[in-house]
Structure 1
Amino acid sequence: MARYFLKLSGRLLLTLAVVSTAVFFLIRLTPGGPAVAMLGQDASPDAVARLNEKLGLTDPLLLQYWKFLAQLAQGSLGESLTNGLSVSETILGVLPHTLELAVAGLAIGMLGGITLGIVEAVWKDRSPDVVGRVLSLVGLSFPSFFVAVLLILFIALPLGLPTNGVAPFTEPGSNLQRVLLPALAMGIVSTAYTSRITRSLMVEIIGENHVRTARAKGVREGRVLVRHVLQPGSLPLVPIAGISFITLVGDAVLIETVFARPGLGSLMVSAMQARDYTTVQGCIIVITTVIVLVNAAVDALYHVLDPRTKTV
């Protein structure tokens, strides 16, 4: 077990190093470089040269890379080119709102999806199953930002619910009002995705011999469902939850824009519009770091929960 986690830590560090390196070089290999991307194609050579000098882009590429790594080692992502503020501090200020939104969307998606999937599997090919599958198909047909617009038009505006901004975590009531609809917009699509996978898993398990044997012995249906279906079927849902969370972090970019929520996604969009490449670079690094950490956490949790891996 210790050897597994040691290997996992090594893979995690290697992946983060590769991702950071790729982000560094891709941004600097844009046509004309970051200076042209910021100033526009019509910028004069003198203006481009001055900005390159200001950004330290006239140094040899390897020296720039070394300085970049030194900054990362100190936990610094540089300074914003638009306001001069620390990119790290700016991101840390909005990251909790994005993670809160993703976690809330995941909770809605997993709870709703697992419940709907179980209902569909238990009543396979009957009315609840047909209705559930139709609802799942409808949910998968609409992107989360479109669902967000519908929620604003038909729920938020008629009921007078807030449609923008965030509230402090110390004000749970106000915070819940502002996170509910964005999380619901993300959770509806996640529910549809999770329910289809849950149904497939449960239908397969219900048809296995140990379930038929338990029923033949007269075990109560509720006990059969919990002990012989849900328990063995819950383990494959761990990586599904990880994939859903990663998808929701990506969805947050659009949802935060629709609901005008300060977050990592809206910060990156505004930085791209302002051509603030250091902030964009920092956002990409943080987003990919979150994705890598979630993948590593899912792998570790699966390894701990799966008895077949105890000897690995």
Structure 2
Amino acid sequence: MKKILLTAAISTLLAPQLASAAEEVNVYSYRQPFLVEPLFNEFTKETGIKVNVKFAKEGFTEMLKKEGQYSPADIVLTTDIGHLVELSDNDLVQGVNNETINENIPSQYRDSEGEWFALTLRTRNVQSSKDRVGQLPADFDYMDLASPEWKGKICTRSGKHHYNISLVSSMIAHHGEAEAKKWLEGFKANLARKPQGNDRGQVKAVKEGLCDLAVSNSYYFGKMLENENQRAWAEAVYINFPGQQTSGTHVNVSGMAMAKYAPNDDNAIKLMEFLTASKAQEMYAAVNFEYPVKEGVKRSELVASWGDFKADDLSLEKISNYRSTAVKLLDEVKFDL
């Protein structure tokens, strides 16, 4: 009898600790540790919920498929819209209909069924050589990348990269498949070299005189400016926002989705709410020189210095419907060859 009472007493004493230990959420993250760990630490500080993170550059789609219903993943954080759509297309996420999250994230930056949500924004800019070109005119548009005046003067990374697939998808959404293909042909004809490298490499090529224009995401501009070895690359160009007198500048995103079999779904919702709230939005966007998704949240001082711009207001969900067509067109014009 004493043994039973002692066991019961110990169980009672340990119950709060066991409950506390169960308070966790598991995240699969394509985003780097330095970007998200400060957010998770703050979330744990405020809620007591522990965040367990698995980091990778690629492969979570395949991992989630293999794990199936036994997957420990609650939330997947991605670097771009391509990964979000891939997860959705493979039926690896579930819809979330949460009033707080929906209020924080504008409808154009979330899936209509709640299968994914944007967390930060970055623009697809065109950087121009300060010495040879100067600031591009206010009416410069993505269509101008195919103008003969830029023949042999443009640098970009592979057309098959998620960032460029997204840009081509937006061109199809706005101009139709036939016009987008014609544009791609002109764009390819204007390349100074075969598509290669990353976004920073395109700006470096402008600094070295290999081309006059570089297509690159906005946040790389900030990352180069903070890098002692790359600052000269960024200082050699102007950052330009195309489409200001037409459809607006193309915007890509980092984002999140709830895994299909999330074992800690209540805690996952709490983390998703936290990531879309003003405090986390300001922290998350500032650390990587991106734009907050939630309206009214302050931009970092450097990002704000680049000026205001009109973003393309076409929903990313609609743009993403053309991703397979974009890849087909890139193959047809042999963009990367």
Is TM > 0.5 for Structure 1 vs Structure 2? no
TM-score (structure 1 length as normaliser): 0.28
Higher strand share: 2
TM-score (structure 2 length as normaliser): 0.26
Higher helix share: 1
Larger Rg: 1
